[in-house]
A and B are shown apart, each in its own frame.
Chain A
């Protein structure tokens, strides 16, 4: 299917003589990108680094935050408006300000990636922990489980399928966040490559960067899926049951 699509694309560009700055042929994208393969690889590695660090930070902050949010209604009432506030700020508008505050380095890009990715993760984990069936909580209580035991032995394991649901959304959003941050300020990364390439009308290179970003998104998403299947098989099974 993909091969046919690429073939039609290549043929159409040839047939209708579409200028390369409007829609480059797949062969042009390939040859132009491969010509600067070293540079492209460097940019890819930079973006991948930002995405992964931002993603890991999102998870590391979301998990305890969700535990805190679900611990009591008071905490939840105090924190929820703040979390929603971070989501109502347009990230692309925040980026230049963050760069002034944090400096022109990778840190503001990681912060933007985190701000884009963490929200659905917190919501997913908190939802999972709050939807534990009351029977399971009662089971824990009838065998004198402490609150910590209830958290580790019942609430968190129960939330695992929800956590992975959130992680899948978060990894996709982390790629978006990293590229948005690179558009605003970066000296490397695929987002930066797209900006500079289009500025010099190197449209095939920009397309090459775009394709690399899509592939990165798909590979990272699949990585999350595989981690779930390998380490939490019962969670993957439950989700299939929900979908089917």
Chain B
């Protein structure tokens, strides 16, 4: 579904120096697979997501989606950003319909579809409200509906629950799993939270910082459907511990700090 081959991205910083954000990144993601990107701040996770979204071009390497190189944003991709980024002047329903309006795909049943999606995430009855009337978690749910409205095959999520409080965050992870089960999609999920990545994903790509490189791609050996109960299992703990070591173990060696 998504094939990323030897991808590198170099930015020019303001003083003209080259900054390598991502280096030699290769992975193949299967259809309807749930893959997370985990790593320390500044490891190029978000850059990776923007590259796959076609928002920025790679410096070296290729991204193929269904065999076609990504050169610009595709119709078949939905994106959820860290902040809800809802338009404050539009109602929740209009916000959800935004991608269809931009891509000239509005149909007679589009509004029904938006309402159905809002119902799916527990926002029935809020269609005509404005974003400021919603809590942070509700706004992010609306943003997820917006990413799903055009029925994309690929969902790119950039720390979608990062700005939410811990309780809302846990609730939203389960909700995402439920949506993914009902409407299977290929999901690339960027997060800071190791437990969140393990709970949600089939595979977790662990990245190192500066330059952003793949340290290891970890398979999550947990059965589906998953709930918070799996967090108590030893496989979950081992997997999370393994990822933690990959990230912090390397850092300890650099710093020379005792582990």
- A interface vs B, CB < 8 Å? 133, 135-136, 138-145, 149, 153-154, 157-158, 160, 232, 234-235, 237-238
Task: With A142-B54, A158-B89, A234-B132 given, name 19 new contacts (CB 8 A).
Answer: A133-B85, A136-B87, A138-B81, A138-B85, A139-B81, A142-B55, A143-B73, A143-B102, A143-B103, A144-B72, A144-B102, A145-B102, A153-B98, A153-B101, A154-B87, A157-B87, A234-B130, A235-B89, A238-B88
Do A149 and B83 touch across chains, with their CB atoms under 8 A apart? Answer: no
Do B79 and A142 touch across chains, with their CB atoms under 8 A apart? Answer: yes
Do A144 and B75 touch across chains, with their CB atoms under 8 A apart? Answer: yes
Question: Interface majority SS on B: helix, strand, loop or mixed?
Answer: loop
Residue of B nearest to A150 (CB): B102
Specify which of A133, A138, A143, A157 is in contact with B99 (CB 8 Å cutoff): A143
Specify which of B54, B79, B81, B89 is in contact with A232 (CB 8 Å cutoff): B89
Interface membership of B190, Cβ < 8 A: no
Do A142 and B87 touch across chains, with their CB atoms under 8 A apart? Answer: no
Interface membership of B53, Cβ < 8 A: yes
Closest 6 CB pairs of A and B: A143-B102, A143-B99, A135-B85, A145-B102, A157-B89, A142-B73
A-side contacts of B55, CB under 8 Å: 138, 141-142
Max chain A C-beta neighbours (<10 A), residue from B77, B81, B89: B89
Do B73 and A136 touch across chains, with their CB atoms under 8 A apart? Answer: no
Known: A157-B89, A234-B130, A234-B132. A142 touches B77 (CB 8 A): yes
Do B81 and A143 touch across chains, with their CB atoms under 8 A apart? Answer: no
Give 21 A-B contacts (CB < 8 Å), ordered by A residue: A135-B81, A135-B83, A138-B55, A138-B85, A139-B79, A139-B85, A140-B102, A142-B53, A142-B55, A142-B79, A143-B103, A149-B102, A153-B87, A153-B98, A153-B102, A157-B89, A232-B89, A234-B88, A234-B130, A234-B132, A238-B88
CB distance from B90 to the nearest CB of A (A): 8
Residue of A nearest to B98 (CB): A143
A-side contacts of B99, CB under 8 Å: 143
Known: A138-B55, A138-B81, A139-B81. A144 touches B88 (CB 8 A): no
A-side contacts of B79, CB under 8 Å: 139, 142
Residue of A nearest to B53 (CB): A142
A-side contacts of B101, CB under 8 Å: 153
Residue of A nearest to B156 (CB): A142
* CA gap between A199 and B102 in the complex, in Å: 63
Known: A143-B103, A144-B102. A234 touches B89 (CB 8 A): yes
